[in-house]
Amino acid sequence: MIKLLGRICLLSGMVAISWLLVIVLANSQSNSGSKGYLAGIIDKHRLLGETSPPRIILVGGSNLALGLDSGMVHREMSTNVVNMGVNAGVGLKFMLNEVRSALRSGDTVIIIPEYEQFYGYRNGGTTLVETLSIYPEGIRYLDSADQWLMVVSQFPGYAQGLFLRFFKGFGTANGFAINRSSYNEYGDITAHLDQPSRVKVADLGLSRPGKLDFDDEAVSILNEFARFARTREAKFLLIFPPLPAAQYDINREQIEYAYARIKGEAEFAVLGSPRDYLFPTSYFFDTVYHLNRQGRAARTEKLIDALKTVH
Amino acid sequence: MLFNSFQFFVFFPIVTLAFFVLPHRYRWIWLLVASCYFYMVFVPAYILILFFTIGVDYAVGILIENAEGRRKRLLLVASILGNIGVLGFFKYFNFVQMNLAGMAAALDWNYPIQLLNIALPLGLSFHTFRSLSYTIEVYRGNFQAERHLGLFALYVMFYPELVAGPIERPQNLLPQLRERHEFDYERVTDGLKLMAWGFFKKLVIADRLADFVNPIYNQPAAYPGVALALATILFAYQIYCDFSGYTDIATGAAQVMGFKLMRNFQRPYFAISIADFWRRWHISLSTWFRDYLYVPLGGNRVPKWRWQLNLFITFLVSGLWHGANWTFVAWGALHGLYLLLSIWTSGIRMRMSRVLGIDSSLDLLRPLQVVATFSLVSFAWIFFRASTIQDAFLIIQHIFSPSGYSGTIGETLLTYLNMSKVGIVSIMILSIAELAQARASLRVMVRSQPAWLRWAAYYVLVMSILLLGKFSDQRFIYFQF
């Protein structure tokens, strides 16, 4: 048995060194690692620390980074705005934990979660592992066994994604680079705004056919954060993400079910409904959550109108 | 618990290490507890179903052995009804209800359809069949009833084969559960290598092919014939690698601990006829149906027309076993029809090959037979994979319609091939490996190589799995059965 364990350790060592090599080489690319899109998280945390309250803190995935004009929100609401949105793949829990310690009296946290957060992604995926590899301080935002299990179990998927992208190139899939330097002073991305729409509308795959795999725990996490926000004399509210109307039609059942559950169980304000943020497909850029210039403006106006009802 | 999950990555070494460390007399308890945990990761309450069938068949086995005549037969019937009843309730209740409702609607009758909102217990079809084979073998006098409840429970619940087979016979597995198994370096490393090969087939081939096949088969109307044809061929490899990959992992895991499970696949896509295919595909199931359905129906020891009817019925039931959907029944019926056609046309085909001069040239005849068999099997997979019978016919229509290949077919084909390149390259590697296996066992071949080459192969295999495998907890196809 000692001989076998020795051989397993030797093979594991060879594999681990190879993996590390892949990760180091991949992260040295110009649109990857500490220079890539996900590295925006580093600057957003600095922005959050440097922006004085009261603030509107936007929490969510890339629907915020590539779909909101935070400058317009700042001007219309006369409040500082910090856009913390990077990628939904870090999971609902992580993105809420990111802002927890920075919350101050008078702040308003607006969560705009992609629908996947309610259908299996609350603990994130490989993007969380990649984010932590770029921003190791983010480990302090892992506070549950589920999240740790996710990180450990997704590590092979992360290394794999890096390996495949290493050969295909990073951040040029859209014909232009989106990287860390693409974020503006609020944390928005604008490089894509005038690009032609190439979004493909297809089933989001939220649930297995005929099933509604809604994650009961997701609403509990939101409620817990709402209670925490109240202890800090901060507001917490939820708004639904933008979506092509055609996309909504495909996933209507799951989206409406999520809406009904959130509305029925929320201990915080839910502004509007999913149908309030449906737009023509031509308003979207490359995914069903990323908006072009026209879409971004329309969505931001709706959001501001909703915010004015509570501010 | 899925084999391709992080949980199994932790579960397997702990269970195996403890197995070797524990004294022999406690090992069965440890394996039983581990198997219970393995199953309960899915839906904990469903273990009660397992306990029910175990309890019934344990008691019935002992009673059958001490009974005679009518009482003996009644006890067997009780076991069959108990197992098939559980299977029928969980797996076929809604299917029967929906069909009755459909028939009633066609006749303009009012049928208040009541559907059950229950999830199918995983592996139900496998462990009920395993349990049934036990009571039947005891009834036939081929096996002595097991008096040790714990060992019998372990026979039914042995975790490597618990949810997707192989469907072990009691004669093979139960005696092994009593034997002392010591650590043997060669056997353990062979088992680990088999597991690695299984993971390669499942994660690199099957799951990568699924990425290509699933969107096409989920919306067949949106794709041209060339895409549907390619998806069908790739599905043939997806299901083979998915299921045989699972079996390799199960067999390897058992082998590590010293248990030898039955072989379930024997290079099925090198079969030279449909009959040969069924001697190579899911062998534990096909032999189960042969021994417990086909032979009791009379097998081939009855008039010709009855023999052929027995064949067809066996394949129909086999299709239904795979799922509560008419597509599976159609798949089974098609294979039954293939066999009947091969019987009816055997004379003509022999004469044709004589006329063409290929009957004496195995080098020419064999590849033709392999290609023909693979084509027939792939065609049948259309029904197996399609969501509905209508979809299956739509796919067939598109595949065989010239308009599905119009335009720049070469370019279209290249595009789709490019989308599935990891899977296709892996299929080529698999095919080369299986061709080589015709001469000698892969393990023997690898062992005879110099150490540096062996280690390079192990390294490449592990790195392929880690860098090209799909780690998304994608279920094994046969789990749904």
CA distance A116 to B187: 45
CA distance B13 to B195: 13
Residue type, B296: P
Q: What value does the mean pLDDT of chain A take? A: 89
Q: How far is A217 from chain B (nearest CA, A)?
A: 18
Higher pLDDT: B333 or A208? It is B333
Note whether B458 contacts A11, CB cutoff 8 Å: yes
Counted across chains A and B, CB pairs separated by less than 8 A come out at 40
What residues pair up with A82 in beta bridges, in sequence order? A57
pLDDT recorded at residue B404: 63
Among candidate residues B221, B166, B186, B163, the one with its CA nearest the CA of residue B393: B221
Residue matched to tokens 């009518």: B70
Higher pLDDT: A189 or A120? It is A189
Q: How far is B203 from chain A (nearest CA, A)?
A: 12
Chain B residues in contact with A22 (beta carbon < 8 A): 467
Note whether A156 contacts B458, CB cutoff 8 Å: no
Among B466, B470, B480, which would you mutate to test the A interface (most chain A Cβ atoms within 10 Å of its Cβ)?
A: B466
CA distance B335 to B312: 8
CA distance A122 to A67: 21
Radius of gyration over every alpha carbon of chain B, rounded to an integer in angstroms:
24
Secondary structure of residue B85 in the 3-state scheme? helix
Q: How far is B262 from chain A (nearest CA, A)?
A: 26
- Whether pLDDT at A208 is above 70: no
- Identify whether the C-beta of residue B330 lies closer than 8 Å to the C-beta of residue B339: no
Q: How far is B470 from chain A (nearest CA, A)?
A: 7
pLDDT recorded at residue B2: 83
CA A2 to chain centroid: 46
Tokens of A202: 């297809």
Whether cis (ω within 30° of 0) applies to the bond prior to B166 is yes
Q: How far is A157 from chain B (nearest CA, A)?
A: 6
| Interface of chain A toward chain B, CB-CB under 8 angstroms | 1, 3-4, 7, 11, 14-15, 18-19, 22, 149, 152-154, 156-157, 159-160, 163-164, 202
Tokens of B353: 């090959």
- Identify whether the C-beta of residue A133 lies closer than 8 Å to the C-beta of residue A122: no
Tokens of B174: 């139960």
Note whether A4 contacts B189, CB cutoff 8 Å: yes
User: Within 10 A of B402 (CB to CB), how many other CB atoms are there?
Assistant: 7
Residue type, A105: S
For the purposes of burial, counting CB atoms within 10 Å of the CB of B183, is it exposed (0-12), middle (13-18) or buried (19 or more)? Answer: middle
CA distance B72 to A273: 66
Rounded alpha-carbon distances, angstroms, from residue A244 to A46, A284, A286: 33, 7, 12
How many residues belong to chain A? 311
Q: How far is A211 from chain B (nearest CA, A)?
A: 10
Chain A residues in contact with B185 (beta carbon < 8 A): 3-4
Note whether B471 contacts A4, CB cutoff 8 Å: no
Q: What share of chain B is helix, strand, coil (3-state, %, to 5)?
A: 75, 0, 25
Chain A residues in contact with B459 (beta carbon < 8 A): 11, 14-15
For the purposes of burial, counting CB atoms within 10 Å of the CB of A231, is it exposed (0-12), middle (13-18) or buried (19 or more)? Answer: exposed
Indicate left, alpha or beta for B255 from its phi (over 0: left) and psi (-120 to 50: alpha).
Answer: alpha
Secondary structure of residue A271 in the 3-state scheme? strand
Of B6, B189, B466, Cβ closest to residue A159: B466
pLDDT recorded at residue A209: 60
Whether cis (ω within 30° of 0) applies to the bond prior to A53 is no
DSSP 8-state secondary structure symbol assigned to residue A196: P
Chain B residues in contact with A19 (beta carbon < 8 A): 466
Chain B residues in contact with A149 (beta carbon < 8 A): 6
pLDDT recorded at residue B256: 96
**Is the CA virtual torsion B99, B101, B104, B106 positive or negative?**
negative
Residue matched to tokens 């034997």: B179
| Interface of chain B toward chain A, CB-CB under 8 angstroms | 5-6, 20, 183, 185, 188-189, 215, 455, 458-459, 462-463, 466-469, 471-472
Secondary structure of residue B1 in the 3-state scheme? coil
Number of H helices, E strands in chain B: 22, 0
Among B2, B6, B181, B192, which would you mutate to test the A interface (most chain A Cβ atoms within 10 Å of its Cβ)?
A: B6
pLDDT recorded at residue B223: 87
The question of whether B398 is a catalytic residue gets the answer no
Of B185, B455, B471, Cβ closest to residue A156: B471
Phi, psi dihedral angles at B42 (to 5 degrees): -70, -80
DSSP 8-state secondary structure symbol assigned to residue A20: H
Q: Beta A235-239 vs A80-83: how paired, if at all? A: unpaired
Catalytic residue among B127, B282, B322, B335: B322
Sheet containing A269-271: give its strands across: A80-83, A55-60, A108-112, A235-239, A269-271
pLDDT recorded at residue B449: 86
How sure is the predictor about A196, in pLDDT bands with cuts at 50, 70 and 90? confident
What would the DSSP string read from start to end of A27-39? HTSTTSGGGBGGG
Note whether A149 contacts B6, CB cutoff 8 Å: yes
CA distance B153 to B138: 16
**Is the CA virtual torsion B257, B260, B263, B267 positive or negative?**
positive
pLDDT in tens, A39-94: 999 999 999 999 999 999 999 999 999 999 999 999 999 999 999 999 999 999 99
Residue type, A259: Y
pLDDT recorded at residue A175: 55
CA distance B44 to B319: 29
Among B467, B473, B480, which would you mutate to test the A interface (most chain A Cβ atoms within 10 Å of its Cβ)?
A: B467
Among A123, A153, A200, which would you mutate to test the B interface (most chain B Cβ atoms within 10 Å of its Cβ)?
A: A153
Of B188, B459, B472, Cβ closest to residue A11: B459
Please list the pLDDT of chain B residue by residue as tens digits (481 residues): 888 888 898 999 999 999 999 999 999 999 999 999 999 988 888 899 889 889 999 999 999 998 888 999 999 999 999 899 988 888 888 888 888 888 888 888 777 767 777 777 888 889 899 999 999 999 999 999 999 999 999 999 999 998 888 999 999 999 999 999 999 999 999 999 999 999 999 998 998 899 889 989 988 988 888 889 999 999 999 999 999 999 999 999 999 999 999 999 999 999 999 999 999 999 999 999 999 999 999 988 889 999 999 999 999 999 999 988 999 999 999 999 999 999 999 888 888 877 877 666 667 788 889 999 999 999 999 999 999 999 999 999 999 887 666 666 666 666 777 777 777 888 888 888 888 877 777 777 887 889 899 899 899 999 888 888 887 655 556 655 6
- Identify whether the C-beta of residue B121 lies closer than 8 Å to the C-beta of residue B160: no
pLDDT recorded at residue A199: 84
DSSP 8-state secondary structure symbol assigned to residue B448: T
Phi, psi dihedral angles at A81 (to 5 degrees): -125, 135
